[in-house]
Amino acid sequence: MDRSELTAPASDAFGGKRFRVIFAATIGNLLEWYDYFLYAVLAITMAKLFFPAENELTSLLLSLAT
């Protein structure tokens, strides 16, 4: 084993893996935010459809509690 192989910078050795980890974390984060957005939109829609009440806040709280 050559001495130059032992002193190689970490960025050269792990650059591709670091990119994949950051890319995977970004995709996971985007999916999580999409899930929150979809849940919020559907909670508002379900509140209007399944829990009609005089007070819209009551309907929304009932749909979130369900």
For the stretch 15-66, pLDDT in tens is 788 999 999 999 999 999 999 999 989 999 999 899 888 889 999 999 988 8
Whether residue 12 has pLDDT greater than 80: no
Unique residue bearing structure tokens 């591709």: 16
Question: What is the predicted pLDDT for the residue at 24?
Answer: 95
Domain spans, the chain: 38-66
Contact between 41 and 26 under an 8 Å Cβ cutoff? The reply is no
Question: What is the predicted pLDDT for the residue at 35?
Answer: 94
Question: What is the predicted pLDDT for the residue at 64?
Answer: 87
In whole angstroms, what is the distance from residue 45 CA to residue 61 CA?
12
Whether residue 7 has pLDDT greater than 80: no
